[in-house]
Protein backbone atom coordinates (compact mmCIF):
# COMPACT_ATOMS: atom_id res chain seq x y z
CA UNK A 1 0.00 0.00 0.00
CA UNK A 2 1.35 3.49 -0.83
CA UNK A 3 1.48 6.21 1.81
CA UNK A 4 -0.75 9.16 1.15
CA UNK A 5 1.03 12.41 0.45
CA UNK A 6 -0.30 15.61 1.95
CA UNK A 7 -1.27 18.25 -0.55
CA UNK A 8 -3.89 20.70 -1.71
CA UNK A 9 -5.77 21.74 -4.81
CA UNK A 10 -4.34 24.69 -6.71
CA UNK A 11 -6.28 25.91 -9.75
CA UNK A 12 -7.97 22.54 -10.12
CA UNK A 13 -4.79 20.46 -9.75
CA UNK A 14 -3.70 18.49 -6.71
CA UNK A 15 -0.26 19.68 -5.60
CA UNK A 16 1.70 17.53 -3.16
CA UNK A 17 3.15 19.51 -0.25
CA UNK A 18 6.87 19.19 0.28
CA UNK A 19 8.10 17.40 3.33
CA UNK A 20 9.37 19.73 6.09
CA UNK A 21 12.90 18.31 5.68
CA UNK A 22 12.87 19.21 1.98
CA UNK A 23 11.79 22.77 2.78
CA UNK A 24 14.66 23.17 5.25
CA UNK A 25 17.18 22.03 2.63
CA UNK A 26 16.13 24.80 0.25
CA UNK A 27 16.63 27.55 2.82
CA UNK A 28 20.21 28.69 3.34
CA UNK A 29 21.58 28.29 6.83
CA UNK A 30 22.91 31.07 9.01
CA UNK A 31 26.52 30.27 8.09
CA UNK A 32 25.62 30.35 4.39
CA UNK A 33 23.91 33.73 4.80
CA UNK A 34 26.87 35.13 6.72
CA UNK A 35 29.32 33.88 4.09
CA UNK A 36 27.24 35.30 1.22
CA UNK A 37 26.81 38.64 2.97
CA UNK A 38 30.52 38.86 3.71
CA UNK A 39 31.29 38.13 0.08
CA UNK A 40 28.81 40.82 -1.05
CA UNK A 41 30.32 43.39 1.34
CA UNK A 42 33.83 42.56 0.14
CA UNK A 43 32.76 42.95 -3.50
CA UNK A 44 31.05 46.26 -2.73
CA UNK A 45 34.09 47.67 -0.94
CA UNK A 46 36.33 46.59 -3.82
CA UNK A 47 33.91 48.19 -6.27
CA UNK A 48 33.99 51.48 -4.34
CA UNK A 49 37.81 51.44 -4.26
CA UNK A 50 37.99 50.84 -8.01
CA UNK A 51 35.43 53.60 -8.66
CA UNK A 52 37.36 56.03 -6.46
CA UNK A 53 40.62 55.29 -8.24
CA UNK A 54 38.95 55.64 -11.62
CA UNK A 55 37.23 58.91 -10.75
CA UNK A 56 40.23 60.64 -9.21
CA UNK A 57 43.19 59.05 -11.00
CA UNK A 58 42.04 59.12 -14.64
CA UNK A 59 41.32 61.95 -17.03
CA UNK A 60 37.93 60.43 -17.86
CA UNK A 61 37.03 60.24 -14.17
CA UNK A 62 38.02 63.84 -13.50
CA UNK A 63 36.03 64.97 -16.55
CA UNK A 64 33.03 63.06 -15.24
CA UNK A 65 33.30 64.76 -11.84
CA UNK A 66 33.65 68.17 -13.49
CA UNK A 67 30.66 67.57 -15.76
CA UNK A 68 28.46 66.43 -12.87
CA UNK A 69 29.62 69.34 -10.71
CA UNK A 70 28.71 71.83 -13.44
CA UNK A 71 25.26 70.21 -13.85
CA UNK A 72 24.66 70.46 -10.10
CA UNK A 73 25.82 74.09 -10.16
CA UNK A 74 23.33 74.94 -12.93
CA UNK A 75 20.51 73.23 -11.02
CA UNK A 76 21.44 75.08 -7.83
CA UNK A 77 21.58 78.40 -9.68
CA UNK A 78 18.14 77.73 -11.19
CA UNK A 79 16.70 76.90 -7.76
CA UNK A 80 18.16 80.06 -6.21
CA UNK A 81 16.75 82.18 -9.05
CA UNK A 82 13.31 80.59 -8.62
CA UNK A 83 13.40 81.32 -4.88
CA UNK A 84 14.49 84.91 -5.51
CA UNK A 85 11.68 85.41 -8.06
CA UNK A 86 9.10 83.95 -5.66
CA UNK A 87 10.35 86.25 -2.87
CA UNK A 88 10.24 89.25 -5.21
CA UNK A 89 6.64 88.46 -6.21
CA UNK A 90 5.66 88.04 -2.55
CA UNK A 91 7.15 91.43 -1.65
CA UNK A 92 5.42 93.14 -4.60
CA UNK A 93 2.04 91.72 -3.55
CA UNK A 94 2.28 93.38 -0.11
| pLDDT in 10s for each residue of the chain, 94 residues | 556 778 788 888 888 887 765 555 678 889 999 999 999 999 999 999 999 999 999 999 999 999 999 999 999 999 999 999 999 999 998 7
Q: Where are the domains of the chain?
A: 1-51, 58-94
- Strand pairing partners for 13? 10
Report long-range pairs for 8-15 (Cβ below 8 Å, ≥24 apart). none
Report long-range pairs for 23-27 (Cβ below 8 Å, ≥24 apart). none
Distance (Å, rounded) from C-alpha 69 to C-alpha 61?
A: 12
Residue 14's contacts (CB-CB under 8 Å, 6 or more residues apart) are 7, 8
Amino acid sequence: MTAEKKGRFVKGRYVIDEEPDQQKEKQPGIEDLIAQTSKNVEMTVESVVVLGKTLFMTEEGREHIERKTREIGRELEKAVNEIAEAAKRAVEKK
